[in-house]
Amino acid sequence: MKKSRGIIVLVLTAVILGLLAFTSAVGFGPTGTGAARNIKTGLDLSGGVSITYQTTDENPSSEDMSDTIYKLQQRVQQYSEEAQVYQEGDNRINIEIPGVSDANTILEDLGKPGSLYFIAQTDADGNQNYSQIASTGDAAQDYQLNYTIEELEASDSIVLTGTDVASARAGQIENSMQNKENAVSLTLTSEGTTKFADATTKAFGANESIGIYYDGAFVSVPGVNSAITDGNAQITGMADYAEAENLAATIRIGGLKLELEELRSNVVGAQLGEDAIRTSLIAGAIGLVLVILFMIWVYLVPGVVAGLSLLIYVGLELLMLNAFDLTLTLPGIAGIVLSIGMAVDANVIIYARIREEITAGRNTKVAIKAGYEKALSAILDGNITTLIAAAVLGWLGSGSVRGFAMTLALGIVLSMFTALVVSRMIIRALYAVGIRKESLYARQKKEKVRDFLGKRKIFFIISLVLVIAAPVSMIAFHATSGKALNYSLEFQGGTSTTVTFNEDMSIADIDAKVKPVVQEVTGDANIQTQKVVGSNDVVIKTRGLELDEREELNQKLMENFDVEEDKIAAESISSTISGEMRRDAVVAIIVATVCMLLYIWLRFKDLRFASSAVLALLHDVFVVLAFYALARVSVGNTFIACMLTIVGYSINATIVIFDRIRENMAGANRKTDIAEVVNRSISQTLTRSIYTSLTTFIMVAVLFIMGVASIREFALPIMVGIVCGAYSSVCITGALWYVMKTKIKAKK
């Protein structure tokens, strides 16, 4: 790169940093488009709309309630991945949607659950059940019913109802012209399959359509191209994917087993106070500054480049959260913390390579080029492996799992871009303008080869004890207290107490005055509070309270706040993480693990690398699980995010060491001792392992020190996971691969 071009790159870097800083802080236009304050946040950070439905059936079965809650969860995810749906009492369902403030708009858009009908075009006598009255392309305006629903039921013209539809998913299919087109794929129940086979056979023979009617209007009137007898159908003709997804979501909510009616709707405030958000932002800024200063101290000029790249990364992250309208919650913050850690890691890998090249006697220019080239495979493999996990979690997961996956995926892509493209351009520009002295780019240091494998038995014993601690402690706690883990509201449900205070309580007042009173009764710090906007009502969610505990809480509230007894109402609520959502999360994690294993197997062409990586990953998960059990840290939404963070962090650290083993094995002769190669590879990457773990630990530790109680509960297990991940990547993964390599011979 020429000097003039280097100057242009540095000026552009300064301009981009300035623009990103301005955009994040101020934004553009009267609404401040792009500003950090406009990022959509979850219920825990900014509040939203709370809607309560009641079933028309007074005594619904638990199976029907569970099915309805799960399908509603799928429906409301179009508003936010972090929307919550849970049961209240025996026949009520609560929906909480973050980031919106107009309950009426949501109610109109959701429509009336449980009122979907598939209607034949003609009845048995040939009478038209519906007529086309316009040609706008909108089924609601183009078609009208000629009879009431009751009359259509009497004439057997209702082909299917919503309960006959097992699932509805939007996607793309290949048509007869081998072109991709948007479609909604339907899977019917066994009863629905039989009814639909008869109806489509009749409609196909008469060249008729079957109208889909929901909440008082047609949503689609597709023609029938063939008799459908296997219970699987596709609806095509949508203009774009968004239209297909909306139709699929409409069919899902119309397919609820229970019919619901609105009971009440409110706008609720954030579960966490403004202080929690403010301190978290300050902690994040302090952590970022400390990381940048550390990188400069360790790597000199490349450390400055890393700092500039990280600042650009953070600015782009905020910009993209706005652009993609992602909802930011505590689990989402976990994804950002992990991606910042991986962004630092990529820089550390590169700069460690540059230092190795300078130590080996290369000049600065050659060292920079070789550093990026040799670090490329480790960075790509580590990030792609985590990206695969994020993609699978986003595809199969639901709720907070999907929100975490989307935030993580965005962060990974941006971190690779800033590390491999932005930092490379900046460091080459600095060299071009005259900053070329080797001592400014690296302190020459030869890595001492340590005998890690010689201590592998000690490491294996320590790990075995730590891993066994998880099931043993969980069994012990289950036997003594009935709970293997300290499950929070999100996992086991609890009691929701609505209190109408005599004054308008602020979130700060609730945190400082109300929560301590509640904790005195429950003996549990896991308390969620929501203020109903425009009223003096406060919703307090706690673990499940017995009758005497409810009475004691009522008494305390009356004594401390002069609240009238009839202004206190309590209801039992279900978990916000339903059994189906847990199943989705478990399936997603299993599939993600298998996909990562396959990718590592293909890239390293050795199943033993993949097996060692997955075993080390399971080791870290079990150790963190043991910490949750022994420390009785609350297991809620952040538990899932924490475990997913550990998985992503652990696999990335392992890949770096395996990449170096692969490189060293390729250059080794047959006489080279495999143990020597493994020890050398771990020693060469030891500095990287320590520095990456330390920088990520700093980010989370500052959050832990400055954050409120809920932030600390979220940060502490991640800190344990970071330490455990560093230990397993250095002490366990290489040793596992060595044992497999020497004990399990590869087939020729």
- pLDDT tens, position by position, 545-566: 888 889 999 999 999 999 898 8
Are residues 386 and 283 both part of a single domain?
yes
Are residues 422 and 302 both part of a single domain?
yes
CA angle 564, 569, 573 (to 5 degrees): 160
Q: Distance between CA atoms of 646 and 578, rounded to whole angstroms? A: 23
Domain that residue 146 falls in: 116-255
Residue 78 lies in a domain: yes
Over residues 146-166, the pLDDT tens digits come to: 999 899 999 999 999 888 888
SS3 percent helix, strand, coil of the chain, rounded to 5, is 60, 15, 25
Domain stop point among 223, 255, 287: 255
Please state, as a whole number, how many other Cβ atoms lie within 10 Å of the Cβ of residue 745.
8
Over residues 600-617, the pLDDT tens digits come to: 888 888 888 988 988 988
What's the Rg (C-alpha) of the chain? 29
Residue 309 lies in a domain: yes
Are residues 569 and 593 both part of a single domain?
no
Q: Determine the average pLDDT of the residues in 330-358.
A: 77
Are residues 297 and 407 both part of a single domain?
yes
**pLDDT classification of 748: cutoffs 50, 70, 90:** very low
Q: In total, how many domains does the chain have?
A: 5
DSSP state letter for 223:
B
Residue 315 lies in a domain: yes
Provide the mean pLDDT of the chain: 84
Q: Determine the average pLDDT of the residues in 487-515.
A: 84
Residue 260 lies in a domain: no
The answer to whether the predicted template modeling score (pTM) of the entire model surpasses 0.75 is: no
Q: Distance between CA atoms of 128 and 571, rounded to whole angstroms? A: 49
Residue 195 lies in a domain: yes
Domain stop point among 255, 285, 300: 255
Where residue 66 sits, what CATH number does that domain have?
3.30.70.3400
pLDDT(534) > 60: yes
pLDDT(472) > 70: yes
Domain stop point among 83, 112, 141: 112
Are residues 608 and 520 both part of a single domain?
no
Q: Distance between CA atoms of 339 and 407, rounded to whole angstroms? A: 9
Please give the pLDDT value at position 747: 45
Q: Determine the average pLDDT of the residues in 58-86.
A: 79
Burial of 201 (C-beta count, 10 Å sphere; 0-12/13-18/19+): middle
Residue 8 lies in a domain: yes
Q: Determine the average pLDDT of the residues in 20-40.
A: 82
Are residues 676 and 727 both part of a single domain?
yes
Are residues 597 and 459 both part of a single domain?
yes
Q: Distance between CA atoms of 110 and 710, rounded to whole angstroms? A: 32
In the chain, pLDDT over 90 holds for what percent of residues? 25
Q: Helices 734-743 and 456-481, interaxial angle, to 10°?
A: 110
Are residues 413 and 543 both part of a single domain?
no
pLDDT(32) > 50: yes
Please state, as a whole number, how many other Cβ atoms lie within 10 Å of the Cβ of residue 400.
31
Q: Determine the average pLDDT of the residues in 511-536.
A: 83
Over residues 648-679, the pLDDT tens digits come to: 777 878 888 999 998 888 866 665 688 999 99
Where residue 166 sits, what CATH number does that domain have?
3.30.1360.200
Please state, as a whole number, how many other Cβ atoms lie within 10 Å of the Cβ of residue 562.
10
Please state, as a whole number, how many other Cβ atoms lie within 10 Å of the Cβ of residue 600.
25
Are residues 333 and 429 both part of a single domain?
yes
Are residues 615 and 648 both part of a single domain?
yes
Residue 481 lies in a domain: no
Over residues 379-416, the pLDDT tens digits come to: 898 888 888 888 887 787 766 677 777 877 888 889 88
What SS3 class is residue 637?
helix
**pLDDT classification of 276: cutoffs 50, 70, 90:** low
Are residues 519 and 633 both part of a single domain?
no
Are residues 73 and 183 both part of a single domain?
no
> Of 309, 293, 315, 316, whose CA–CA distance to 429 is shortest?
309
Tell which wins on pLDDT, 27 or 17: 17
Residue 703 lies in a domain: yes
**pLDDT classification of 112: cutoffs 50, 70, 90:** low
Please state, as a whole number, how many other Cβ atoms lie within 10 Å of the Cβ of residue 374.
19
